[in-house]
Amino acid sequence: HGGGSVVQLRKHNKFEKFESHYISSGSDDNPPPLPEKKKKHVHEYMKLFGQVSEPNPNELLRHSVHQMHLVSAIESNFHEHDHEHDFFHTSYPAIIDGMSHVSIQPPALPPKTRRGTFVTHTRQSLPVASKPLPVTNIAINYTQQNSSVLDDNVCRKTMEEKDEPEEVIIKDQSLEIERQKELELKEEEVEDEEEEEGPLDLLDVREYLVLKKEGDEGPEVRGGPVDALIVHASKANKNDFLYQEAFLTTYRTFISPNELVNKLLKRYNKFVSSPDVERQKAARNAFSLLVRVVDDLAITDLNNDILETLTSFEYTLLCRGELLLARALRRKIVEKLEAKKRYNAPKENFTIASLGVTTRPASLLDFKSHEIAEQMTLLDAELFLTMEIPEVLLWASEQNEERSPNLTTFTEHFNKMSYWARTRILDHDDSKDREKYVMKFIKIMKHLRKINNFNSYLALLSALDSAPIRRLEWQRTITDGLKEYCALIDSSSSFRAYRQALSDSTPPCIPYIGLILQDLTFVNIGNNELMSDGNVNFSKRWQQFNILDNMKRFKKCQYTFKKNEKIIAFFNNFEPSLNEEALWSISEKIKPRGGKKKS
């Protein structure tokens, strides 16, 4: 119908499953049923802007005026973030220089574990007797200011291990000897590898970096080996701040979080016990970046391997007496685990029945437009905050919705809202009733624009501008109003009007993610992952960072509207709604093709 695609909006879970096996009837003439074709929620979401022209690479590479205006504000937030961990710059040197400065004595270690500079970065490289704290125990309430309670537990655990019955020790002696031999062999292999120094072992890595040519615009670092990029990101000076932000946003495109954590721990271990001030600073910077990496981990990053690595390292810090560092790391780990717990908790689902409402069914016209806009925004914001930056980057390269579940949920919500609005309009036989609903949605859009919710704004605009509704006859006030609203998504000049409106917005704000996905897709297609010499092409990462910058900025600020359960229940998850084919059928009954509208 009119080129429109048929989109089935289902009432059940978006990740619809089908049986992978079937009961054979014994007849070869009956083939197994084909699985239902999966709906492409993200692709449907991105159709709003239609055919998008490729953005200018120079514009993406060059720092935007808006971004440069934000640098001072972001740097201020960055230093506030670091201020939470003043030990990076104050207490830490005292700990490194001499343990006599720490009033709390470290716990005594069992035999075979005193190895001076030995700091682990994988579970396998831990000393045999140094058992890491179990991952399940990491969720200890860490709000206590005095960390000595935790340290007493560690000491007590160590003493209990030393008081084990002699028969158990004898029984396990052969196993311990065998494990110790394996450990020593691994350490010898590591020592052999360390003979060949790489960027992780150096204080200055500029000779490894690919820098911009003289006269070129844009950021200085254009590429380099992975290890050199990591070291450069660990420098905590003001000039490299934007580079560090770009690195943290995009590093998953060339190294996994697990690998990055291990490399930072290796660098920390390399320099932590050196008497040289510059090497101590390098260790301090590596630890500081590690904490930022942990703070930036996505829910999907929190696998058992990375949690075991971090808790093992934290235990090592405790055993060495580096209590402030262990406390800082533990705080971030606990924050991430609590966030994961909240994410996995059952979500509230308000319905009219659950509120005990027995009056007539509510109508859109029963509620004030600004209240509806606020409740739409709260629903959008909840989904927007759960969406992770890695998901967006991953979808742009793989376009796999199953690996970007929060992004898929966010886009499905947009599509459902749009079709729900279309259905509410075409539900009415009387043209005056339809016009009332269109005017109501226009008023809601006006409030959505005021509170910077571009996502719901465009969901409703896509409904009012859809072919089954647009083809009908409307009053001039409605058509003129829609033209004004549609100007925001004018595709000329690469959507300059929308980009400018987004740039001028202050948090809280919910952007339309579809254009971000389009821009990232163009960057991914038009730029190689590696440079011709095999180094990481960091120019591509700069472009990705500049595209994602607003999204990261807006995720840091939340709306403070109060939830209205009656309106949320009225939305009913924006169900039921009609599909494209049904909407066209109603539209053609109102105004037949090539004929006059129904009287």
The strand pairing partners of 211, in sequence order, are 221
Q: pLDDT for 474-487, tens place per residue?
A: 999 899 888 888 88
Give the residue among 56, 139, 153, 124 at the shortest CA–CA distance from 333: 139
- Around 432, how many Cα atoms within 13 Å sit in the side-chain half-sphere? 0
Q: pLDDT for 203-244, tens place per residue?
A: 999 999 999 999 898 899 999 999 999 999 998 677 788 999
- Is residue 596 in some structural domain? no
* Long-range contacts from 38-42, C-beta under 8 angstroms, 24+ separation: 38/401, 39/7, 39/8, 39/10, 39/14, 40/401, 41/14, 41/401, 41/408, 41/411, 41/412, 41/415, 42/395, 42/399, 42/401, 42/404, 42/407, 42/408, 42/411, 42/517
pLDDT tens for the chain, 599 residues long, are: 444 433 333 333 333 333 333 333 444 455 555 555 555 666 666 666 555 555 655 555 544 444 544 455 555 554 454 444 444 443 333 333 433 333 344 444 444 443 333 333 333 333 333 444 444 444 434 333 333 334 444 444 444 444 444 444 444 555 666 666 666 666 655 555 555 789 999 999 999 999 999 989 889 999 999 999 999 999 867 778 899 999 999 999 999 999 999 999 999 999 999 999 999 999 999 999 999 999 999 998 999 999 999 999 999 999 999 999 999 999 999 999 999 998 888 876 655 445 455 455 789 999 999 999 999 999 999 999 999 999 999 998 888 888 889 999 999 999 999 999 999 999 999 999 999 999 999 999 999 999 999 999 999 999 999 999 999 999 998 998 888 888 888 877 788 999 999 999 999 999 999 999 999 999 999 999 999 999 999 999 999 999 998 899 999 899 999 999 999 999 999 999 999 999 999 999 999 987 665 54
Do 330 and 395 belong to one domain? no
Phi-psi region of 506 (alpha: psi -120 to 50; beta: other; left: phi over 0): beta
- Is residue 555 in some structural domain? yes
Question: What does the DSSP assignment read for 16-62?
Answer: ----S-----S-TTSPPPPPPPPP-HHHHHHGGG-SPPPPPHHHHHS
Tell me whether residue 420 is exposed, middle or buried, using C-beta atoms within 10 angstroms of its C-beta: 0 to 12, 13 to 18, 19 or more.
Answer: buried
- Is residue 221 in some structural domain? no
- Could you give the maximum distance between any two Cα atoms of the chain, in Å? 98
- Around 146, how many Cα atoms within 13 Å sit in the side-chain half-sphere? 6
Do 164 and 259 belong to one domain? yes
Do 280 and 381 belong to one domain? no
Do 313 and 376 belong to one domain? no
Do 338 and 413 belong to one domain? no
Number of domains in the chain: 2
Query: Which of 282, 314, 343 is the C-terminal boundary of a domain?
Result: 343
Give how far the C-alpha of residue 179 lies from the chain's centroid of Cα atoms, to the nearest Å.
40
Bridge-based pairing of strands 221-224 and 210-211 is: antiparallel
CA angle 192, 196, 198 (to 5 degrees): 130
- Is residue 464 in some structural domain? yes
- Is residue 439 in some structural domain? yes
Query: Which of 343, 378, 404 is the C-terminal boundary of a domain?
Result: 343
Identify whether the C-beta of residue 283 lies closer than 8 Å to the C-beta of residue 272.
yes
pTM tops 0.95, yes or no = no
Q: What is the CATH number of the domain that holds 427?
A: 1.10.840.10
Alpha-carbon distance 369 to 451, whole Å?
13
Give how far the C-alpha of residue 178 lies from the chain's centroid of Cα atoms, to the nearest Å.
43
- Is residue 357 in some structural domain? no
Do 320 and 406 belong to one domain? no
Query: Which of 291, 311, 343 is the C-terminal boundary of a domain?
Result: 343
- Is residue 524 in some structural domain? yes
Alpha-carbon distance 153 to 137, whole Å?
12
Do 573 and 544 belong to one domain? yes
Do 173 and 318 belong to one domain? yes
Q: Report residue 196 as tokens.
A: 């060949």
Do 307 and 392 belong to one domain? no
Do 390 and 303 belong to one domain? no
- Domain hosting residue 71, numbered range: 66-207+233-343
Do 458 and 423 belong to one domain? yes
Do 326 and 404 belong to one domain? no
Q: Report residue 437 as tokens.
A: 């609903």
Alpha-carbon distance 128 to 112, whole Å?
8
- Is residue 225 in some structural domain? no
